[in-house]
Amino acid sequence: MNARMERDLNREEFQRYHDVIYKIAGIHYPTEKLALLSNRIRKRLRATSTPSFDIYLARIQQAGEAVEQQAFLDSITTNETYFFRCQRHWDFFKTWIAQRAADATKRREPLRIWSAAASTGAEAFTILIVLHQVLGTGFGGVQVEVLGTDLSSQVLEEARRGAFRAYALAQTPPPIVKQYFTKNDKDDFLFDRTLARCVTFQRHNLMEPLLGGRMFDFVFLRNVMIYFDGPSRERVLRHMHAVMRPGSHLIVGESESLLSVKHSFQYVKPSIFVKPTGAPTAPRVTA
Ligand SMILES: C[S@@+](CC[C@H](N)C(=O)[O-])C[C@H]1O[C@@H](n2cnc3c(N)ncnc32)[C@H](O)[C@@H]1O
C-alpha cells in the first residue's frame, strides 16, 4: 500500500463505498462512521497490497473476485455478540418453549428456530442451551433444528468451531458454563459437541429470501437492523415473514424499533412480535 493511503476516504470515495455496501448488504454506513469504514478498508488494502481505495473498490466489483468480495464483507460488518444477550428475551423464549415445543411433535415436523445474523454463534448456542434446560435430555423427544446464518463467512467459520473466549460468557451463569462448556489449554470455552450437532451454520444475506422451503417456529433477528435503513428493514422483515409459520414469533434487538417500518407482524411486547394466524398479505405500519 502506498504511504498516501494512510489517509481516510474522502467524501466522494466514502459515498462510492457506501453505495456498493448498501447495494450488496443493505447496510447503511452513516457519514459519522467515515473513519471507522476507512480503517476497515485500509486493512484490506494492506492485506492485498492495493495502492488506492478506488482500485480496491473496482476490484471487489469484478466478476471472478468473489473471494476478495467476501473478505471485504467480513471486514466491514460488526460482529459483537455474546451468550444470554438480553435476559428478557430468553425469559420469553423459555416460556414459549414450555407452551409450544410440543406443537412441532404433533405436526410431525422438527421445531425450527432461526438465528438470523448469528455472528460467531453465541445466540444459536444459547437457543440450544435454553431448549435443553426446558425440554431436558434429547429435548424430551422433540426434534430440534436450529439454523444460524450470517453474511460474514469468517464469523460462521468461528461458529462452526464452537470455541469462545471468556468475554462471550460474561453474562452466562457459572453453573451453565460448567454444564455446557469445556475449557481447553488455550483458555477457550468449547461448546457441548452433542448439542452443537443440532445447529447448522450457513451463509445467507438477509437482503435475499431464504431458500429451501423450511418454515420456522421462532426467529431471532437481533442487533442487525440497526445497520439498515428503512427500506432494508422492510425488505428483511418481508423475507422473514415469508418463512415463518402463522403464530410464530420474531424477536428483534432491544434498541431496534419497528416504528415507521412497514411490516405484517403483530406487536406482543417491546422487541417481540408474532406472525398472526391468518396473516394479512398486505404490510401495515405498527409499533
Ligand atoms: C452485531 S452482530 C449480532 C449478532 C447476534 N444476532 C446478537 O444479537 O448477538 C450483527 C451481525 O449481522 C451480520 N449482518 C450484517 N448485515 C447482514 C446481512 N445483510 N445479511 C446477513 N447478516 C448480516 C453481521 O455480519 C454480524 O455478524
Cell numbers for 114: 432461526
Distance CA 264, CA 258 (A): 11
Are the CB atoms for 26 and 207 separated by under 8 Å? Answer: yes
Q: What is the pLDDT of residue 281?
A: 46
Q: Are 66 and 98 contained in the same domain?
A: no
Q: Are 227 and 177 contained in the same domain?
A: yes
Ligand 1 midpoint to CA 119 (Å): 6
Q: What is the pLDDT of residue 284?
A: 46
Q: Are 172 and 242 contained in the same domain?
A: yes
Q: What is the pLDDT of residue 104?
A: 86
Q: Which of 55, 76, 97 is the last residue of a domain?
A: 76
Whether 78 has a pLDDT exceeding 70, the answer reads: yes
**Which atom of ligand 1 lies closest to the CA of 253?**
8
Whether 1 has a pLDDT exceeding 80, the answer reads: no
Question: pLDDT (tens digit, 9 = 90+) per residue, 184-212?
Answer: 999 999 999 999 999 999 999 999 999 99
Whether 52 has a pLDDT exceeding 70, the answer reads: yes
As for how many domains the chain has, the answer is: 2
Query: With a 6 A CB cut-off, is 205 part of the ligand 1 pocket?
Result: yes
Query: With a 6 A CB cut-off, is 232 part of the ligand 1 pocket?
Result: no
Helix or strand holding residue 113 (H, E) = strand 111-116
Q: Which of 42, 76, 110 is the last residue of a domain?
A: 76
Q: How large a percentage of the chain has pLDDT more than 90? A: 91
Ligand 1 midpoint to CA 4 (Å): 32
Whether 280 has a pLDDT exceeding 90, the answer reads: no
Ligand 1 midpoint to CA 3 (Å): 33
**Which atom of ligand 1 lies closest to the CA of 207?**
19
Q: What is the CATH number of the domain that holds 55?
A: 1.10.155.10
Distance CA 156, CA 194 (A): 19
Residue nearest to atom 3 of ligand 1 (CA): 223
Most ligand 1 atoms within 8 A of CB, residue of 36, 123, 151, 158 to mutate: 151
Q: Are 169 and 208 contained in the same domain?
A: yes
- Quickly state the pLDDT bin for 111 (edges 50, 70, 90): very high
Ligand 1 midpoint to CA 80 (Å): 8
Cell 462471550, residue? 168
Q: What is the pLDDT of residue 4?
A: 53
Q: Are 42 and 23 contained in the same domain?
A: yes
Most ligand 1 atoms within 8 A of CB, residue of 90, 220, 224 to mutate: 224
How far CA 208 is from CA of 129, 238, 253, 273, in Å, comes to 29, 10, 20, 21
Q: What is the pLDDT of residue 3?
A: 52
Runs of H (alpha helix) within the chain: 11-25, 34-48, 53-60, 66-76, 87-107, 122-135, 153-161, 174-180, 193-196, 230-242
Q: What would the mean pLDDT of 239-243 be, rounded to a whole number?
A: 97
Query: With a 6 A CB cut-off, is 206 part of the ligand 1 pocket?
Result: yes
Q: Are 100 and 150 contained in the same domain?
A: yes
Q: Are 35 and 161 contained in the same domain?
A: no
**Assigned domain for 82 exists:** no
Q: Are 261 and 119 contained in the same domain?
A: yes
Ligand 1 midpoint to CA 234 (Å): 16
Question: pLDDT (tens digit, 9 = 90+) per residue, 246-278?
Answer: 999 999 999 998 989 999 999 999 999 999 998
Ligand 1 midpoint to CA 250 (Å): 16
Coil/strand/helix, residue 31: helix
Q: Which amino acid is at 82?
A: Y
Q: Are 103 and 233 contained in the same domain?
A: yes
**Assigned domain for 172 exists:** yes
How far CA 18 is from CA of 11, 12, 31, 140, in Å, comes to 10, 10, 9, 48
Q: What is the pLDDT of residue 6?
A: 86
Q: Which of 22, 57, 76 is the last residue of a domain?
A: 76
**Assigned domain for 81 exists:** no
Q: What is the pLDDT of residue 282?
A: 44
Q: Are 224 and 93 contained in the same domain?
A: yes
Whether 243 has a pLDDT exceeding 80, the answer reads: yes
Q: Which residues form the domain of 34?
A: 3-76
Q: Are 242 and 129 contained in the same domain?
A: yes
Residue 113's nearest CA partner among 245, 255, 238, 242 is 245
**Which atom of ligand 1 lies closest to the CA of 120?**
27
| Rg of the chain on CA atoms, in Å | 20
Query: With a 6 A CB cut-off, is 78 part of the ligand 1 pocket?
Result: yes
Long-range contacts of 36-40 (CB under 8 A, 24+ apart): 37/9, 37/76, 38/7, 38/8, 38/9, 38/14, 39/8, 40/75, 40/76
| Strands, sheet with 244-252, edge to edge from the N-terminal-most edge strand | 199-203, 144-150, 111-116, 216-221, 244-252, 272-274, 266-269
Q: Are 69 and 100 contained in the same domain?
A: no
Residue nearest to atom 19 of ligand 1 (CA): 25
DSSP 267: E
Query: With a 6 A CB cut-off, is 224 part of the ligand 1 pocket?
Result: yes
Query: With a 6 A CB cut-off, is 34 part of the ligand 1 pocket?
Result: no
Q: What would the mean pLDDT of 26-51 be, rounded to a whole number?
A: 97
